[in-house]
Structure 1
Amino acid sequence: MLFTLIAWLTGLLIFGGLKVLEALHSKDGGTGRKVSLIIPARNEEKNIGKLLESISKQKTVPHEVIVVDDNSSDGTAEIASDYNVKLVRLESDPPTGWIGKSWACWNGYLNSAGETLVFLDADVELSPEALGTIIDLQELKGGLVSVQPYHRMERFYESFSLVFNLIVVASLGNFMAGERNAPGAFGPCMVCSRSDYSDVGGHETIRSNVLDDIELGRAFRKSGFPVSNTFGGELISFRMYPGGIGEVLKGWGKNFAKGAGSTPPLTLLLMILWITGGFSTFLRLPIALGFQIQFIAFIIMYLAYAIQIYLYSRKIGSFSIGHALIFPVYFLFFFYTFIYSGLRTLLFRRVSWKGRDIDV
C-alpha cells in the first residue's frame, strides 16, 4: 500500500504544473509581425479543409499560409487550392537522410517570407483568437513555443489515447515542479522567429530524426534559446486518429518506444513508478478481496488514481470520469502498443505511416 501511495504522489509531481493556453490580448493582436503559417500535409484531404477554414476566421490575419503537399495520393492539394494559400508541391519522396514531415516543413520555410513562423499539423483546428494568442506568447517567451492541441474525441475507441496523452505530458518534464525549460517540444503547433529558426538550422538540423518535435526543441536549447510548452485548451484542438483503433495503434506505435529512449532518466523513472503503481492497484484488488480492510484500502487507492487521471486528462482532451474509472483498460492498451512500437522501431527498424515506409 505504501508503494502505491508513493506512486500516486508521483503523479502530482509529474502533472502538477500542467499549463493550458489562455487567450492573450495585445494592442495589435500580433498584426505588427509578418507571419507565415506553414502546414505540412500528406494525404490530409479529410483534415486540411477544416484547418484552412479555421485560419480564414482568425482575428489576426497572417501574411501568408503555405500548404506543403508532401506527394499526396489523395485530394489534399485540390482542397488546399480552394483557399487563398501558397501551395508547395513535393512530387517525390524525401531525399535520403530526410524524414517526410521535416522535409515538408523545411520546404515550407524556404518558400516563406514571414518574420514569425508558425508550423501547424493539418489536423489542427484554431479558434478565432488562437493565432494572435500564440504569436503574442512567442513574443513574450522568446525562442520556441509549442502547443499540444486539445484532443477532441467523437468515438469511444479514440479514448485509447488517454495514457499516451498523459505520458507525452510527463516525458517533456517541464510540467514538473522546478522545471523551467522544456527538453523538447510538441509537434502539432510550433511558433518561433525566423531569425532563431535560421540560427538553429531549422528542420534541416534534425532532418533524419523521426522524433522531429523533441529534437527540434533540443536544437533550440543547445543554441541557447528558451523552449516553452503548453496545451491548447479551448483555443487549439485536433481530432487524433479518426480512422479506427488500428490507426490509434499505428499512430502511437510508430515512434513511442524510441521516444522513451530519449526521455530524461529521472523523468522516465518517475513515469514507470506512476504507471506501475496504478496498474498494481488494479491487480491487487482480487488478492485483497478476502481481507476487508485491505480491500477497502485498495478500492480507495483505485478511486484516487481514477480521480487523478480524470483531473489531469480533462485538461488535455475530452476525457470523462467514465474513461478514468476504467483506466486499467487503457494501461493494458498502452503496454501492448509499447511492445508493438518496440518491435517495429528497435527490431525491424521500420514503420509505416500515411502510405510511406519510414526507416527509424
Structure 2
Amino acid sequence: METVIFVLLLCACAAGFVLFRRRTVPVSRLGPVVSGKLSIIIPARNEERNLPHLLQSLQLQTYESIEIIVVDDCSEDGTRAIAESFGVRVIANTEPPEGWTGKNWAVWNGYLQATGDLIAFLDADVRLSPHAVKSLLAARERTGGVISVVPYHEAVRFYERLALIPNLLGLFAFTSPFERSNPKKGLYGSCIVTSRAHYEQARGHEGIKGELLDDLNLGAQFMQAGIPVMNYIGYGMVSFRMYPGGIRSEVEGFSKGAVLSTSKLSGWTTLLVAVWFVGLLAAEAAPFLLGTTWAMPFAAGYLVYTAQLYGFLHYTGKFGYWMPVVHMLSTVFFLYIMLYSAYQVVFHGQVAWKGRRVKVGGRRK
C-alpha cells in the first residue's frame, strides 16, 4: 500500500512537468526585424513606490524609438509628480464611466493618446532588463501576433513569499501546452506587446470595457480575431515586485480573479492543475502521519514536491531559500485566497481592488 501511495504522489507531481514550459523571451540585441515607434502605456493608480523602478529601467533601454505615457488613474499619492519628474507624458484620467472598469478605462485613454504603430501595456510594478524592449518586439515580430509575459516575481518580505503556490499555479495556466488552441486563451496583463493594427482589429480594451479579467478576456478577443497569442515567462528579462504595500493588497490582488479565471482555462489544463494540487495537499499531510506506516511514502512525496518547486522557481520567482521547504504555508494562503474570492463573488457579486469596488461581470460601485 505504501508503494502505491508513493507512485500516486509521483504521478500527481508529474502533472506539473506537463504543465510548466520554460518559455523565456529570447534575448535580442539587434532589435526587431521591422523597426517602428513604440508607445508604452502605463496605467498607474497610487503607484509612487513602484513607478520609479519601471521608469528608470525604461531609461536604460537599448531601443530608442519609445513614447512613454503614464495614465494617472485618480491617484491620491505622488504618482503624477514622480512620472513628471522623469519627463514622460502624463495623462490625468477620470473616474470610469458607467460600464467601464477602472484599469480598462485608464488603458483605453492612454491608447487614444498614443502615436506609435507598436504598443506595449505595462503595469507600474514591472522592471525591465536593458534589452527587454528590443527582445519583446523581436518576439512579437516572430510570432506574428500579440505576446505577453508573466514577470519573474521578486518577493522580498515574508508575506510576499506566501504567494509561491498562487504564483506557480498561475504559471501553469499560462504555460500549459493545452492552452495553445484554447479559443479563450488569455494574456498576462502586466506586460502585453502588440501592433496597433492587431489591437484595433481585436477591438482593444473598449471591447472588454466592463470585464474584471481584462487580460484574459483581451487575449480571447485576439484569438477570436484570428491573431496568434503567445505567452512567455520573464526570467532574465521582465520582473516585478507585486505587492510591496502590504498583505491586504496582496490578498485583494490575488483574490479578485482567483475563482473567475478558472472558467477561462481548457479542461485538460484545469484537470492537471487539480491533480497536481491535490497531490501537493496529500504530500503536505506527511507531518500529521508521523508514527504511522504511511509516514514514509507521504514524506517521500513531500520531498519530491519540494525538489520540483526549487526547480520551477529558479525560472519563475525569488521566494527565499526556505519557503519552498515550508510550502504548506503558501498552500494555506492559496486556499484562503480561493475561499475569500468565492465569498466575494457568490455573496457580494463584487471584488475590491485599489480602493474601488468592481461588480463581477462588469460595473463598478
Give the Cα separation in 1 of the matches to 2:34 and 2:74: 33
Contact 1:37/1:62 (8 A) holds in 2: no
Give the Cα separation in 2 of the matches to 1:166 and 1:25: 30
CA 1:299–1:251: 2 relative to 1, 3 Å: same
State the partner residue of 1:253: 255
User: How much does 1:80 deviate?
Assistant: 0.8
CA 1:320–1:314: 2 relative to 1, 3 Å: farther
Q: Find the residue that maps to 2:358 and give its secondary structure.
A: strand
Give the Cα separation in 1 of the matches to 2:180 and 2:262: 19
CA 1:29–1:312: 2 relative to 1, 3 Å: same
User: How much does 1:289 deviate?
Assistant: 2.6
Amino acid aligned to 2:207: T
Matched, 1:19 2:23: yes
Matches within 5 A, 1:261-300: 261-287=263-289, 289-291=291-293, 294-300=294-300
CA 1:246–1:74: 2 relative to 1, 3 Å: same
Matches within 5 A, 1:347-358: 347-358=347-358
Give the Cα separation in 2 of the matches to 1:346 and 1:93: 26
State the partner residue of 1:86: 89
Q: Find the residue that maps to 1:117 and give its secondary structure.
A: strand
- Pick which of 215-224 and 57-66 moved more: 57-66
State the partner residue of 1:175: 176
User: How much does 1:104 deviate?
Assistant: 0.9
Matched, 1:141 2:146: no
State the partner residue of 1:68: 71
CA 1:140–1:9: 2 relative to 1, 3 Å: same
User: How much does 1:178 deviate?
Assistant: 8.8
- Pick which of 143-152 and 259-268 moved more: 259-268
Give deviations 1:307-328, integer Å, cap 9, x for gaps.
1112112211113452111111
- Pick which of 237-246 and 113-122 moved more: 237-246
Q: Find the residue that maps to 1:290 and give its secondary structure.
A: coil
State the partner residue of 2:14: 9
Give the Cα separation in 2 of the matches to 1:255 and 1:7: 25
**Structure 2: gaps (5+ residues):** 361-365
Contact 2:37/2:65 (8 A) holds in 1: yes
Q: Find the residue that maps to 2:318 and give its secondary structure.
A: coil
**Structure 1: gaps (5+ residues):** none
Contact 1:41/1:70 (8 A) holds in 2: yes
State the partner residue of 2:123: 121
Q: Find the residue that maps to 1:138 and give its secondary structure.
A: helix
- Pick which of 17-26 and 235-244 moved more: 17-26
Amino acid aligned to 1:324: P
Amino acid aligned to 1:59: T
Q: Find the residue that maps to 2:91 and give its secondary structure.
A: strand
Q: Find the residue that maps to 1:88 and give its secondary structure.
A: strand
CA 1:197–1:276: 2 relative to 1, 3 Å: same
Contact 1:93/1:100 (8 A) holds in 2: yes
CA 1:305–1:188: 2 relative to 1, 3 Å: same
CA 1:66–1:116: 2 relative to 1, 3 Å: same
Q: Find the residue that maps to 1:163 and give its secondary structure.
A: helix
- Identity percentage of aligned residues: 36
Contact 1:281/1:302 (8 A) holds in 2: yes
User: How much does 1:45 deviate?
Assistant: 1.1
Give the Cα separation in 1 of the matches to 2:272 and 2:105: 34
Amino acid aligned to 2:298: F
Amino acid aligned to 1:22: P
Aligned positions, number:
354
Amino acid aligned to 2:35: G
Amino acid aligned to 1:23: V
Contact 2:91/2:110 (8 A) holds in 1: yes
Give the Cα separation in 2 of the matches to 1:142 and 1:313: 29
Contact 2:32/2:141 (8 A) holds in 1: no
Contact 1:70/1:104 (8 A) holds in 2: yes
- Pick which of 110-119 and 152-161 moved more: 152-161
Give the Cα separation in 2 of the matches to 1:235 and 1:284: 38
Give the Cα separation in 2 of the matches to 1:224 and 1:57: 35
Matched, 1:311 2:311: yes
Amino acid aligned to 2:119: L
Give deviations 1:208-244, integer Å, cap 9, x for gaps.
1111111111110110010011111122111011122
**TM-score, scaled to structure 1:** 0.93
Matches within 5 A, 1:29-44: 32-44=35-47
Contact 1:30/1:60 (8 A) holds in 2: no
Contact 2:179/2:266 (8 A) holds in 1: no
User: How much does 1:62 deviate?
Assistant: 3.3
Contact 2:179/2:185 (8 A) holds in 1: no
Matches within 5 A, 1:208-227: 208-227=210-229
Amino acid aligned to 1:187: G
Give the Cα separation in 2 of the matches to 1:71 and 1:320: 35
